[in-house]
A and B are shown apart, each in its own frame.
Chain A
Amino acid sequence: MSELELHDQADVAPGDEEEVRIGPRLIGYGVGLGLAILLTATSFFVAGTDLVWQPSIPVAIVVLAIAQMGVHLVFFLHITTGPDNTNNVMALAFGVLIVVLVIGGSLWIMANLNHNMMPMDQIMQMQR
């Protein structure tokens, strides 16, 4: 790959870093690992503790999980906000949209059905 091609291209492959020096790359992975361990340990601690207000625990676990996914995306998959990463981020944004629609939509619809439908034993009684 020529010098011009390396520095003049408008895109970077997902998973590739712009940084090529070995030291900063090692530090990047190390920082990612440290943050991931910190977030994982926090969520395991929060799940088992009595120290915090119990109804807040599920929210805390979900928030910690999303934060950790962000850490993995940035430090391990190198999906960043840089201008040459736009295509990768747009694809990711579309994926996230679909995931949110599928999970949120399923939960919403099924909660509604549970709420509005007659309990199953009563339906069976009516059909007798």
Chain B
Amino acid sequence: MLMVRAIVRPEKVDEVLSALMYAGFPSVTKMDVYGRGKQRGMKVGEITYDELPKELIFTVIEDKDKTFVIETILKSARTGTKGTFGDGKVFVSQIEEAYTVSSGIKQL
């Protein structure tokens, strides 16, 4: 199993979530985060925004769905067709075990 953590623009969240829903991956968790990237925040005139608001989306998937899910997220989170700075990042990590609390069964 893999955990996919995607940091996306707040205004793109709804699009990503519905894309995932239609792709057959309804289970996600979302939280508000603040951070900066390679561009060291954003500069508008005199003002520098060091930490920009983003949304962090978690989802845990089976190994075989990895490419499809990542493609879905990338496609829906991108601004325009080419994308711009600040569109976010996707991280993938290994999950060893997953339990469903309501049944206590060890499965996704």
Q: Please indicate whether A and B come from the same complex rather than being unrelated chains.
A: no
Chain B interface residues toward A at CB < 8 A: none
